[in-house]
Amino acid sequence: MTSTNSEDLALQYAQLVQQEDDYVDQLITCNKLILDALDIIAKRAGVLHMDTVKQAAYHLHAMEQDLNRKLFKVRLEKSILANQMSQST
C-alpha cells in the first residue's frame, strides 16, 4: 500500500474514534435523562399525566437504542479499519 492510502486509513480511523467518543457522550447524557425521568416518575407519578410520562420515557429509550446501534456500527467499522491498517504495515 502507498503512504497516501495508509494516511487515508489513519484519517478515517481518527474520524471514527471521534464519532465513537461523540456517541458515548450522547449515551451518557441520554442515560442520565432516563434515570432522572424514572426518579421524577417515582416521586411525582400521582400528579403527572401517565400516558404522557410513558410516551416521553419510551422516546428516551428509543433514542438510547438508536445511539447504541450507531455506536455499534462505528465500533464495527473501526475494527475492520484496524485490520486493514495492520495489513498495510
**Per-residue b or e along 69-87, where b marks 16 or more CB atoms closer than 10 Å to that residue's CB:** ebbeebeebbeebeeeeee
Mean of the pLDDT values across residues 2-20?
89
Cell output for 52: 404522557
Averaged over 33-52, what is the pLDDT? 90
Count of domains for the chain: 1
pLDDT in tens, 70-80: 999 999 999 99
Distance CA 71, CA 67 (A): 6
Q: What pTM value is reported for the model? A: 0.85
Confidence band of 89 (pLDDT split at 50, 70, 90): low
User: Mean pLDDT in the chain?
Assistant: 92
Domain that holds residue 64: 3-87
**pLDDT tens sequence across 61-71:** 999 999 999 99
Q: Are 27 and 60 in contact (CB under 8 A)?
A: no
